[in-house]
Structure 1
Amino acid sequence: MTNESPAPKRPRSRRAFQSSVKLEDVARLAEVSTATASRVINSPNAVTEKTRARVEKAIAELGWIPHGAAQALASLRTRTVGALIPTLGHQTIATMLESLQKSLGDAGYTLLLGRPDASRDRTIVQVSKMIQNGVECLVLMGEDHPPELFEMLEQRSIFHVIAYTTGAGERTNCIGIDNYDEMSKMVKYLLDLGHQSFGVIAANFDHNDRIRLRINAIRDTLAREGIAVRPQHFRVVPQWTIACGREGMRAILEQDARPTAVVCTNDYLASGALIEARARGLCVPDDISVSGFDDNELASHIDPPLTTVHVPAARMGKTIADYVISALDGGEAALPIRLDAQLIIRKSTAAPKV
């Protein structure tokens, strides 16, 4: 016996973990050419479903993993798309993102997510890192981003698309809804019901052009009828949540005069406003009407169900993906026309009491 300690194990190099299986082995097992096997990996839509299934089965049996860096070096393509998304907690945004990811994934692309920061400098740093990671395209939510961000994308020749808007600013490569027009339709509907006194609950919109467009639509549409929202009835809350919707409605109801209709810039705020109104003994819509925007799942199940604007989030995500894929794979693509939202009338709105 000896008291000597066992020699420390030498760390295994990364090379020891790399598979010896090559793409040629996959092609041989699937009984296709190496070029066809490569197309299944890089452009799956370019091969038949039967061929794709055979190659994918061979990949699974052999346990082959493509070497991403080698692929990118050989093709000068990373097939990676970045998306700068403000939140994953908002159902409509999440639905759009899921649709975007699925369509990109079906075409052999990877989606890399980032989140804009309250600090514009940190947002620029984050986008710079995404570019360093090889994104070929960047999807942005709205036009309200630092000029330096767009300058960076143009200097690096990074293709980019702006989601959720039709481009009220100077940007033309936008795919989404007309936030101004769709909110204007909501206000016109409430005016047609006979409402003359309005409240507004909106989340902070310092860096959110979509919400600013909706607010401008409320103000402009009412102004054309000679109506203005009283300052005490216009509430900007810190976030877009149900709790903040309750906070906004509470502040409005504490005033001496009560509006007959409260327009909210999303369904979470509208749901909170509705809950708070009922908690204070008011009947919605007999005592006060409440409207939202987006048409998330909660909107149709809350009591009473919300009148809102349905945003085609899944179709938006797919439309963006199709446009990006056509542009990156084909070199050019026709920008889709705007997506139409839909006014959904439910039981949270009615004519005001005489």
Structure 2
Amino acid sequence: MSATIKDVAKHANVSIATVSRIINKKPGFSPETEQKVLDSIQALGYQPNALARGLINKDTQTIGVLFPAVSNMFASEVLSGIEEYANEMGSSVIVCNTAEDGERTLKYLQVLSEKRVDGIIIVSEYIKEEYYKALSEMKIPKVLVSSISFEYPIPYVKVDDRHASFSAVNYLIGKGHRKIAMIAGNSTDPIAGVPRIEGYMAALRANGIEPSNDMIIHCDGFGHKDGVQAMKDIMDRDMDITAVFASSDELAVGAMSHAIRHGIRVPDDLSVMGYDDTKLAEMMIPSLTTVAQPLYEMGLMAATMLFDMKSSGAVIESRIMNHKIMERETVKNLL
């Protein structure tokens, strides 16, 4: 049977209140008493209950992180940055998979509320009214990553998706490509769908190319299977293109794999460019040229902002992170 705080108090010959003050780093005891209690804790193997401790000092040393998909490399790299800083601050991370349509978001917000987490980071998810209401009732810091809310005042960390998409397509045009298809997200998605499509179209117009909706393949998600299906659609339509720009690395890799299986050489016959710069981009053969988001740094920054708000109670400014083109092997120079 596990030792209790009462057992520790008896072993050290002090009151339960004294043990509680020492555990929670409160004043009111001598160094000798503190050492006696710490020796008793070690001798008995006592593990303070984090939730009970949190009820006393309003700090459970846990934060919640919500992802629409936790298994992809995008989530892995963002989470690495979050965990790195959280661990430095002595906190643990509870990861929640809300599903791509957000069907479990409200449920997990309730779970995190019951666990009295110290703050919440939400990644790549649109903030609905019911989410914001639940977040507001919790009265804890919250930060968005790779997302933005125009309706609600939640600080965020992200790249400028429209600008990043513009940079990617402008890079392809600079290599001589003018017939460029886009594998995009949902056309109504305000987070990663609409801005990236707008950047694609703006880059074409800036270079004297009139964009066509027929050159945009919309997907429900950003995963490998969506990219495979998108490339199948491109081939079924017999589209006259020299390059494909995909809204995620996984979409790009899915498109590449389908093309290569059907005898299309990348980049000799078709150039492919991704978005994110996950480790998957480097692992591919040929390695994927992509527009990079600093995913690890975005996670690290979000956690830093969250803990700064937790300690100061002050409003934190949102951060736009820099993107860059990672030139590898999947784009052919036509000039």
Global fold match (TM > 0.5): yes
- Per the alignment, residue 90 of structure 2 pairs with 108
Q: 1:336 to 1:23 in 2, by over 3 A?
A: farther
How many Å separate the matches in 1 of 2:53 and 2:41? 16
- For residue 186 of structure 1, what is the amino acid of its counterpart? A
Once the two structures are TM-superposed, the CA of residue 288 in structure 1 deviates from its matched residue by 1.4
Q: Answer with 285-294 or 150-159: which moved more.
A: 150-159
The reply to whether residue 22 of structure 1 matches residue 22 of structure 2 is no
The reply to whether residue 175 of structure 1 matches residue 157 of structure 2 is yes
How many Å separate the matches in 1 of 2:220 and 2:283? 25
Percent identical: 23
Q: 1:188 to 1:169 in 2, by over 3 A?
A: farther
The reply to whether residue 217 of structure 1 matches residue 203 of structure 2 is no
Once the two structures are TM-superposed, the CA of residue 313 in structure 1 deviates from its matched residue by 1.6
- Per the alignment, residue 158 of structure 1 pairs with 140
Q: Answer with 85-94 or 65-74: which moved more.
A: 65-74
Q: 1:239 to 1:158 in 2, by over 3 A?
A: same
Once the two structures are TM-superposed, the CA of residue 277 in structure 1 deviates from its matched residue by 2.0
CA RMSD in angstroms comes to: 3.2
How many Å separate the matches in 2 of 1:213 and 1:92? 18
Q: 1:284 to 1:121 in 2, by over 3 A?
A: closer
- Per the alignment, residue 339 of structure 1 pairs with 321
Q: Answer with 275-284 or 116-125: which moved more.
A: 116-125
- 2:232/2:258 contact within 8 Å kept: yes
Once the two structures are TM-superposed, the CA of residue 257 in structure 1 deviates from its matched residue by 3.5
Secondary structure in 2 aligned to 1:323?
helix
Q: Which digits, 9 at most, give the CA deviation of each residue in 1:144-179, with x for residues without a partner?
A: 121221133234433211112466776451112222
- 1:199/1:229 contact within 8 Å kept: no
Give unpaired runs (5+ residues) of structure 1.
Answer: 1-15, 43-54
- Per the alignment, residue 257 of structure 2 pairs with 275
Q: Which digits, 9 at most, give the CA deviation of each residue in 1:199-227, with x for residues without a partner?
A: 11134465561233212211222233343
- Indicate which of 306, 310, 320 corresponds to 2:302: 320
- Per the alignment, residue 98 of structure 1 pairs with 80
Superposed counterparts of 1:1-354, under 5 Å: 17-19=2-4, 21-22=7-8, 38-39=24-25, 62-117=44-99, 122-142=104-124, 144-165=126-147, 171=153, 173-204=155-186, 207=189, 209-332=191-314, 334-335=316-317, 337-352=319-334
Q: 1:197 to 1:60 in 2, by over 3 A?
A: farther
Q: Given the two structures, how large is their TM-score scaled by the length of structure 2?
A: 0.82
How many Å separate the matches in 2 of 1:237 and 1:91? 19
How many Å separate the matches in 1 of 2:282 and 2:107? 40
- 1:267/1:296 contact within 8 Å kept: yes
Once the two structures are TM-superposed, the CA of residue 196 in structure 1 deviates from its matched residue by 1.4
- 1:175/1:320 contact within 8 Å kept: yes
Secondary structure in 1 aligned to 2:139?
coil
How many Å separate the matches in 2 of 1:347 and 1:180? 24
Give unpaired runs (5+ residues) of structure 2.
Answer: 27-36
Q: Which digits, 9 at most, give the CA deviation of each residue in 1:28-80, with x for residues without a partner?
A: 9xxxx9867645xx9xxxxxxxxxxxx99986664220122331222133333
Q: 1:196 to 1:323 in 2, by over 3 A?
A: same
How many Å separate the matches in 2 of 1:118 and 1:298? 20
Q: Answer with 159-168 or 96-105: which moved more.
A: 159-168
- 2:205/2:211 contact within 8 Å kept: no
Q: Answer with 61-70 or 293-302: which moved more.
A: 61-70
How many Å separate the matches in 2 of 1:240 and 1:178? 18
- For residue 275 of structure 1, what is the amino acid of its counterpart? S
Q: 1:320 to 1:300 in 2, by over 3 A?
A: same
